[in-house]
Amino acid sequence: MAKQARSSRPAPRDRAITSALSKWFRSAARDLPWREEFRARRDPYRSLVSEFMLQQTQVSRVLEKFEPFLQRFPTVGALAAAPEQDVLAAWSGLGYYRRARLLHACAKSIVRDFGGVVPRDVDSLQELPGIGRYTAGAIASIVFNRPEPIVDGNVCRVLQRLDAKPGSASDKEVIAWAWERAESLVKQCPNSPSQREGAGGGRRDADVATPATFNEGLMELGALVCTPAAPKCLVCPLRDLCLAREQGLVDEIPAPKARAKRSRVYHDTVVVWRKTARGVEVLLEQRPATGLWAGLWQPPTVESATRTRRTLKSLLAELGLPASAAKVKPREWVFQTTHRDVCFRVWPLQLAHDAGSPRRWCEEAELAGVGFSNAHKEVIALAR
């Protein structure tokens, strides 16, 4: 049974934690484009975009999309002025498209309510669409070097192991404890003139912990060293300060959370194409404004909560498309999202159909600029 975390946490230990972690981060941090290699003051807008993109998305995927997105929308004003469909198209491939809409709304609010300047304090930041306590704390601390705490899954795991705090990182009591603990640690970062507000996490004395380097260090440690499985304790900069390691509890903390049951949905999709003088066109329709892949484009589709063996004839009738005598065998494929399996049956079909509202024909060469989910990119490729 895990021992309870120590009730008294002497300041010297906390200062040792913040100092060791900040020093490690300066030498071990990955070279990521939103960090700008510590050579200059962090750009608030770039950091804002990176924080939205990194929510529930692997760094490797964000690296593919970050710079192209910034090239298309180089300023908060440019993003605010852009049509939503352009934003969704630039976001295509990152998933969780609600984040793109919220980032777009956030940019509009910054322009409208804050004169186009990303606010510095957590209260103002949390007034913006899509920004909660974590994102507000990340921007305030990393960009403006304010002593604000951050807690996500990686940070909670690191803190639990440091103090041998039992429980799952998804438990409300553990999360509340983690926020309190993160705040007590970031407040240990000294407030010296060399850490003036707005200087970010860059040019600092290597032995001085700052809110910026400490908070980013927490995230980096959880991502690279203090991982959920097989943590690299021997190279951890906090190994001599970690109570879970001292008590042999690293593999038990945090406790695993119960896995949610995955659901299944069934999509019958017809990829309709036609040849024109300009080339090949594909018929598209827009998904509903809410729910899975909200507002994105897809080939004509009928969705079901249970498996229904539709024929092509019945599917075309249900979709309001012209009947076809073509003998087409559907191709079956399963796309996995975080919480569900989307089971596709895909029929490729050539029709000279008048699209009509709300459907439209899209030239094959223009598909890259349309807001698609990864699933529907694969569906079209599978059909072609």
List the Cα angle 108/111/117 in 5-degree steps: 125
Q: How far is the C-alpha of 309 from the C-alpha of 331, rounded, in Å? A: 13
* 167: amino acid identity, one letter: G
Would you give the DSSP letter of residue 108?
A: H
Two tokens, residue 325: 């005598």
In the chain the beta strands, taken as DSSP E runs, fall at 263-276, 279-286, 297-298, 301-304, 331-336, 340-350, 360-363
Q: How far is the C-alpha of 304 from the C-alpha of 197, rounded, in Å? A: 54
Q: How far is the C-alpha of 312 from the C-alpha of 321, rounded, in Å? A: 11
Q: How far is the C-alpha of 230 from the C-alpha of 274, rounded, in Å? A: 53
Q: Which of 51, 216, 220, 281 is catalytic?
A: 51
Q: How far is the C-alpha of 241 from the C-alpha of 365, rounded, in Å? A: 57
Q: How far is the C-alpha of 192 from the C-alpha of 195, rounded, in Å? A: 5
Classify burial at 277, counting beta carbons within 10 Å of its beta carbon; exposed 0-12, middle 13-18, buried 19 or more: exposed
Two tokens, residue 273: 């194409």
Q: How far is CA 291 from CA 238, 249, 325, 342, 345, in A?
A: 43, 41, 34, 13, 20
Active site residue 173: no
Per-residue burial over 160-196, b = 16 or more CB atoms within 10 Å of its CB, e = otherwise: bbbbbbbbbbebeebbebbbebbeebbbbbeeeeebe
Two tokens, residue 79: 């993003």
Q: How far is CA 83 from CA 109, 110, 229, in A?
A: 15, 16, 43
Q: Which residues are tagged catalytic? A: 51
